[in-house]
Amino acid sequence: MKMEADSGYSSSAELQKQGKKLSHALRISAYVFSTGLLMFTALVNSASWFTQNITLGNFWQTAWLEFYDHMEGDEWTIFLIGAALVPALAFWGFNGILLVADITGKPTFITRYRIQLGKNDPVDTKKLWKAIYTVLGNQFFISFPMLVPMFYIMKWWDSTFSKELPTFQWFLVELSIFTVVEEILFYYSHRLVHHPVLYKHIHKKHHEWTAPIGVVSIYAHPIEHIISNTLPVMTGPMLMGSHIVSISAWFSIALVTTSISHCGYHLPLLPSPEFHDFHHLKYVCALLSFPFSCPSCLCPGTTDRGNSFLRVKWVCLTHTLAEQLST
Ligand SMILES: [Zn+2]
Ligand SMILES: [Zn+2]
C-alpha cells in the first residue's frame, strides 16, 4: 500500500512536474510567437508606412503637386514630359553607358561579362551609326506621334492627370498587369513577324545584329516598331486608365529591360539576356521575352510555332526551375 501510495504520489508529482513544464513551454512558445508576430506586424506596418509616406506617399505626392503647379496643369506638356522625355532619357542614359563599353571596350568590369566572345570588340561604328539613326527615327517619327491618340484615350479616362497619386500597392498591381499584357502582345506579334513572308520584309532588319547591343533593342522596321515594340507597352496603361507618373515609370522600365535583353553582357545582379542573345544568333527560341522568359535555358520544345503562349511560358518556367534545383 505504502509503495502504491508512494508510487501514486510520485506519479502525480511527476504529472504535476510535467504539467508545469508543459505550461512553461507553452508560455515561452506563446511569448516567442506573439513577440515574433508583433515584430513581423510592426515591420510590415512600418515598411508599408515608410514606402507610402516617406519614400512614395509624401515625397512623390509633394513632388508631383509641385511639378503639376509648375506646369500650370498643362496636361499636354505633362504628358509629353512623362510619356516621351523621361523614358527617352532613361533609354539613352542606360544605353549611353553600354555604348561606351561597346565602342571603347572599357570599363572591363562591364566588357568582361560579354556573352558572345570576340563579337563587337569593338563594335563596328558604321553599323552602329546606322542603328542609332534608325532608333532615333523610330522614336521621333513613330513612338512620339503614337502618343497623340494615347493622350486623348488617357484624357477620356479622366484619372491620368489626377492631383492624387495612386498608392504604391496599386502601382505594383498595375505594373504586373502591364507586364502580362506586354508579354502576351509581344509574344504573338513577334511570332507573327517570324512568319517567313513577314520575316523577309520586316523582322530581318532587327536580326541583322546577330550579336545585339543595347541600343538595337528598338532597331526595327517601322511596322515591327508599331506592332511589337510600341503597342504592347502602350496597351496596359490605356486599358487601366493609369496615372501619368505610373505610365512614365512603366515606359522607362520597359525600355531599360528591353535594352538589358539586347545588351550582350550578362551583368551581375541583372537578368540574363542570354536567351534573346541566342535568338539573335540562331533565330530560334523566338517566342520569349523579358522578364518571364527563362534566363539560362534555351527552352527545348518551345520553338515549335504550334505552341501557345502559356505552354511556352510553362515549359520555360519548369525548365528553369529544374536547372536551378540541379545546381
Ligand atoms: Zn531582339
Ligand atoms: Zn525575332
Interval 291-306: pLDDT, tens: 334 433 445 555 555 5
**Ligand 1 centroid vs 190 CA: distance in angstroms?**
9
Q: Is 161 exposed, middle or buried (0-12, 13-18, 19+ CB in 10 A)?
A: buried
Ligand nearest to the CA of 282: 2
User: What's the domain range around 124?
Assistant: 62-288
Whether 53 is in a domain gets the answer no
pTM: 0.75
Q: Quick one: pLDDT at residue 291?
A: 39
Q: Residue 326 corresponds to which cell in the numbers above?
A: 540541379
Whether 266 is in a domain gets the answer yes
Q: Quick one: pLDDT at residue 10?
A: 47
Whether 197 is in a domain gets the answer yes
Mean pLDDT of 236-258: 96
- Paired strand residues for 114: 265
- Rounded-to-integer distance, Cα 138 and Cα 128, Å: 15
- pLDDT score of 186 more than 80: yes
State how many domains the chain has: 1
**Ligand 2 centroid vs 252 CA: distance in angstroms?**
22
Whether 248 is in a domain gets the answer yes
The total of other beta-carbon atoms located within 10 Å of residue 186's CB is: 23
Burial string for 38-60 (b: 16+ CB within 10 Å, else e) reads eeeeeeeeeeeeeebeeebbeeb
Q: Residue 213 corresponds to which cell in the numbers above?
A: 547591343
Whether 38 is in a domain gets the answer no
User: What stretch of H or E contains 92?
Assistant: helix 86-104
Whether 114 is in a domain gets the answer yes
Among 288, 185, 300, 176, which residue's Cα sits nearest to residue 242?
A: 176
Mean pLDDT of 219-231: 96
Spatial CB neighbours of 10, under 8 Å, sequence gap ≥ 6 = none
Task: Give the pLDDT band of residue 38 (cuts 50, 70, 90).
Answer: low
Q: Is the distance from CB of 323 to CB of 275 less than 8 angstroms?
A: no
Whether 319 is in a domain gets the answer no
* More confident site: 19 or 221: 221
Ligand 2 ion: residues within 5 Å (CB): 286
Residue type, 98: L
Handedness of CA 185, 288, 292, 290 (dihedral sign): negative
**Ligand 2 centroid vs 141 CA: distance in angstroms?**
23
- pLDDT score of 29 more than 60: no
**Ligand 1 centroid vs 206 CA: distance in angstroms?**
6
The total of other beta-carbon atoms located within 10 Å of residue 164's CB is: 10
Q: Is the distance from CB of 234 to CB of 155 less than 8 angstroms?
A: no
Whether 66 is in a domain gets the answer yes
**Ligand 2 centroid vs 232 CA: distance in angstroms?**
15
- pLDDT score of 85 more than 80: yes
Ligand nearest to the CA of 286: 2
**Ligand 1 centroid vs 186 CA: distance in angstroms?**
11
Q: Quick one: pLDDT at residue 20?
A: 63
**Ligand 1 centroid vs 262 CA: distance in angstroms?**
6
CA angle 119/121/127 to nearest 5° reads 80
